[in-house]
Chain A
Amino acid sequence: MKKITYQILGMLLVLGTALSSCDKGFEEINTDPINILNTTPDKLLAPALVNTLSANMSRNRSFNNELMQVTVSLSDGDGTVFRYEYRRTWSDYLWNSWYVQLNNFKDIYTLAKQPETLNTSYQGISLICQAWVASMLTDSYGDVPFKEAAEGKNGKLEPVFDRQKDIYLDLFNKLEEANTLLGKGQEIVALGDPVYKGDVSKWRKFGNSLYLRLLLRVSGKPEVASATIAKIKEIVETKTSDYPVISSNAESAVLKWSGQGGSGPYVNPYYNGVRAQDFRAPAICKFFIDHLRDWQDPRIDISTYGNGGVNRLGINPGSTGFSGVPSGYVIGANLNKLSYFYSYDQLISDVAAGNKSLQQSAATGIIMNYSELQFILAEAAVKGWISGSAEGYYNKGIATAINYWVTAFSADPSTAAFIKYVTDADINWDNALSTDGKMEQIHLQKYYALFLVDMQQWYEYRRTGHPILPKGGGLRNSGVMPARMTYPVYVQSANPTNYKLAVSSQGADEIFTNVWWQKP
């Protein structure tokens, strides 16, 4: 009897398994009842900002600084970015980092639109950050996936590449929308905002300042020039109350790191991302240090403005005083490193450099600073788009750029210290210069204001040709500053159709192919 019962039970079991439908309760069974499944915008914002800045700082140091003669590696072998000869393998890192973060920023918008987490401020912040990341993507690579980018969860695994012009026009729309949304001033979580500690009005100011950066970048293209110039005038002059912009260093878009070592969430990414011996390895370039030395610049002054025997940029003077290595030198030149950036572990009077080194400093997480805005305005004034005084913007730009690093040096350009500085350095604004001469004046100072700001120095040099960089005999790429990064090689197979379309529309996938805003 028992045996028969078992047999029947067994048969029922087999039948039950075989006949019941497979997908019954599929969703419920596969939904984790314990862990958190949905997030909120404030949880996504800080990690996405930190990760984007980590990527920016990493390539600012190893790529932008080498191209733009801030540093120069002492190498005849691999990694000769400063010889305009970088390899395709350089392309993957930023592409892969930025798009994943773009996805996170997009998610903030999606979440902030849902009824249960509805928040117009997070929508606006998301749009600003999307514009920030997407502009870096297109300025580095040219035509890139944008409208269909970061849509993998909706099945778009092979996104279409958009033309740079279309991307820019869309970014302007995004920044307009962000300005409106942030104008409503809905509160956000202060703890989840490492940049402005929940101050929505400052996000709005940053958004409009970024708007000016991007408008200026494409202002040289005839097909959009009149519209962009009109918009710049609107923001700066005619509708200032509708478009508030950054008005002091305290309002600069900067993610302040902790200044500590260790492994906290806001530790300077150079601290854990770069080995100490690698951080101090590149020599400081002659172009970068010679100006600062000749100007007797407070940023590298040790005795008056320094901090425990170290200047505020954390530069080791080297044995012969501040001096650098010329960039683009020929292979086999056998040059010696002179000045260089301290790493955090180097001893200065028997004390580790710590946050006096840029590797641990709190100040390196710059998204956009006030000084850059001043130089944007100075250029607009020189070109006659706005009526303000170019000299005033220029001086303010210099003073705030120094003040960012040297708080003891006033951000007010009317102080005696500032006047003495520009006079001694002989960098007074010269109204008699040609437009090109004025551009050189502005952009030499802007170059220092953009120190550590992702790859803005490179973008601005490509746009304007300023500041004029000396060219060494070892340069490749016909001695011409590379115009872009190539697309990552794996994209050719991961997204073959759209890759081919992009190359046929933009031009060969090479570092000398100009992107849209750079094409003559």
Chain B
Amino acid sequence: MAYYAGNTKNQILTRVVDRASGYNQAIINAGQINNSGIELAINATPVSVRDGFKWTTSFTFAANKNKIISLPDSSIILRTGPIAGGQIVAKVGGSMGDLYGRGYVRSPDGQVVFDETTGFAKITSDVTYLGNTIPKYKISIGNNFNYKRFSLGVLFDAQVGAVAHSLLNYKMVEQGKLASTLPGRYNGIIGNGVVQNADGTYRKNDVIAYDIDEYYRSNMGSENAEGSTFSTDFIKFREASLNYTFNPRLFRNTGLSSVTLGIYGRNLFIWSPWPMFDPEFGTLSGTDIVTGFEIGQFPSTRTVGFNLIIGI
């Protein structure tokens, strides 16, 4: 187990600058960022019966918290996303990896405001805070069960507390290829929220949007980063394997010392609110791997196979 607290001063960062400066990016020494976190690893053997059942387990946990203490400017863009003003911005008091973008116009009590004539969601012209793209903590649990000549291994991974923008979701919504765009396709739809009255007060939305293409575009399309930003929390059934080791006496005359036969699988299942293929992605941008913006990645592959291990 480890607890750490590290303060980084004058970190070298690449900053996206207003092109009106004549330049695309500037490399800067950025203020101060304080990190603290905990890392925990436990390996245990809860059950061990001689010549019988044995259960070993390993558990890891990592959490990190970071806070920006000072910066040379009030806000610094670290990276821009492909659409809707999506961007990773560093601000004093915020954290590295804070995601901003254009989102829903909201009434004072936080409800989505819809247009009083068209029924489309209204979209801010300013960028708003949409969440942090760096997970708060990650957990991994691995178990191994041995019984006589059988051995079973399972591994689960999880991460909690981050969001990301999905380009794939926006694109598929605009093309009407997702089941989430089915409601109202033939009869129109009333968005869940409010509309503004002429006197400035709000009433529950009662405007039917008939242009369903535009309705979903206003909700999750290229203008609305919030609509296609989702939690990347997940629990993954990462790995499983089942092996049987044959009795070596069977092969005494063949010269083989051991024979093991087994089946295994990787990426077996994902439980996640993320609507696209896989909430765990990295997008290549130059030499960096970027988190926070999923820009049309392929699904991760599930692998299932069998092993035959022969020892000579």
Interface residue ranges, A against B (CB under 8 Å): 76-78, 87-89, 95-96, 99-100, 102-103, 106, 144-145, 149-153, 156-159, 331, 486, 488-497, 508-510
B207 is an interface residue with CB less than 8 A from chain A: no
Residues of chain B within 8 A (CB-CB) of A103 are: 22-23
Residues of chain A within 8 A (CB-CB) of B77 are: 490, 493-494
A-B contact pairs, 14 of them (CB 8 A): A77-B174, A88-B102, A100-B24, A145-B18, A149-B20, A150-B22, A151-B21, A153-B22, A156-B21, A159-B18, A489-B84, A491-B18, A492-B126, A510-B125
Question: B87 touching A493 by the CB < 8 A rule?
Answer: yes
Question: A100 touching B125 by the CB < 8 A rule?
Answer: no
Question: B20 touching A489 by the CB < 8 A rule?
Answer: no
Residues of chain B within 8 A (CB-CB) of A510 are: 125
Among B26, B127, B213, which residue has its beta carbon within 8 angstroms of that of A492?
B127
Residues of chain A within 8 A (CB-CB) of B100 are: 493
Give Cα distance in the complex from A494 to B22, angstroms. Answer: 13
Question: B17 touching A494 by the CB < 8 A rule?
Answer: yes
Residues of chain B within 8 A (CB-CB) of A493 are: 75, 77, 87, 89, 100, 127
Question: A78 touching B174 by the CB < 8 A rule?
Answer: yes
If the complex has contacts A489-B85, A493-B77, are A87 and B222 also in contact, measured as CB distance less than 8 A? yes
Interface string of B116-151 (1 = CB under 8 A from A): 000000000111000000000000000000000000
Give Cα distance in the complex from A103 to B23, angstroms. Answer: 8
Among A87, A153, A494, which residue has its beta carbon within 8 angstroms of that of B18?
A494
Residues of chain A within 8 A (CB-CB) of B211 are: 331
Give Cα distance in the complex from A486 to B102, angstroms. Answer: 14
SS class of chain B's interface: helix, strand, loop or mixed? Answer: mixed
Residues of chain B within 8 A (CB-CB) of A153 are: 22-23
CB-nearest residue of chain B relative to A492? Answer: B127
Give Cα distance in the complex from A103 to B80, angstroms. Answer: 22
Residues of chain A within 8 A (CB-CB) of B24 are: 96, 100
Among A77, A145, A158, which residue has its beta carbon within 8 angstroms of that of B213?
A77
Question: B19 touching A100 by the CB < 8 A rule?
Answer: yes
Question: B85 touching A490 by the CB < 8 A rule?
Answer: yes
Residues of chain B within 8 A (CB-CB) of A96 are: 19, 24
Among A77, A78, A157, A159, which residue has its beta carbon within 8 angstroms of that of B26?
A157
If the complex has contacts A88-B223, A151-B22, are A494 and B16 also in contact, measured as CB distance less than 8 A? yes
Residues of chain B within 8 A (CB-CB) of A149 are: 20-22
Interface residue ranges, B against A (CB under 8 Å): 15-24, 26, 73-75, 77, 80, 83-85, 87, 89, 100, 102, 125-127, 174, 211, 213, 222-223
Give Cα distance in the complex from A494 to B73, angstroms. Answer: 10
Question: A78 touching B125 by the CB < 8 A rule?
Answer: no
A104 to chain B, nearest CB (A): 8
Question: B80 touching A490 by the CB < 8 A rule?
Answer: yes
Give Cα distance in the complex from A95 to B22, angstroms. Answer: 10
Give Cα distance in the complex from A102 to B77, angstroms. Answer: 22
Residues of chain A within 8 A (CB-CB) of B22 are: 99-100, 102-103, 106, 149-153
Give Cα distance in the complex from A152 to B21, angstroms. Answer: 5
Give Cα distance in the complex from A99 to B21, angstroms. Answer: 7
Question: B17 touching A89 by the CB < 8 A rule?
Answer: no
CB-nearest residue of chain A relative to B91? Answer: A493
Residues of chain B within 8 A (CB-CB) of A144 are: 20
Residues of chain A within 8 A (CB-CB) of B85 are: 88, 489-490, 492
CB-nearest residue of chain B relative to A103? Answer: B22
A456 to chain B, nearest CB (A): 22
Residues of chain A within 8 A (CB-CB) of B213 are: 76-77
A470 to chain B, nearest CB (A): 24
Question: A152 touching B16 by the CB < 8 A rule?
Answer: no
Question: B222 touching A495 by the CB < 8 A rule?
Answer: no
Residues of chain B within 8 A (CB-CB) of A151 are: 21-22
Question: A99 touching B125 by the CB < 8 A rule?
Answer: no
CB-nearest residue of chain B relative to A145? Answer: B20
Give Cα distance in the complex from A424 to B268, angstroms. Answer: 77
Q: 7 tightest CB-CB pairs across the interface, nearest first?
A: A103-B22, A489-B85, A150-B22, A152-B21, A145-B20, A152-B23, A495-B18
Give Cα distance in the complex from A279 to B12, angstroms. Answer: 43
A154 to chain B, nearest CB (A): 9
Question: B102 touching A99 by the CB < 8 A rule?
Answer: no
Residues of chain A within 8 A (CB-CB) of B126 are: 492
B24 to chain A, nearest CB (A): 7
Question: B20 touching A150 by the CB < 8 A rule?
Answer: yes
If the complex has contacts A78-B222, A88-B85, A149-B21, are A158 and B73 also in contact, measured as CB distance less than 8 A? yes
Residues of chain B within 8 A (CB-CB) of A491 are: 18, 20
A-B contact sample (9 more), CB < 8 A, given A77-B174, A103-B23, A159-B18: A89-B223, A145-B21, A150-B21, A152-B21, A157-B18, A158-B21, A486-B125, A490-B77, A490-B87
Question: Most chain-A Cβ atoms within 10 A of its Cβ — which of B15, B22, B125?
Answer: B22
CB-nearest residue of chain A relative to B23? Answer: A152
Residues of chain A within 8 A (CB-CB) of B75 are: 493-494, 496
B253 to chain A, nearest CB (A): 59
If the complex has contacts A77-B213, A489-B102, are A496 and B19 also in contact, measured as CB distance less than 8 A? no
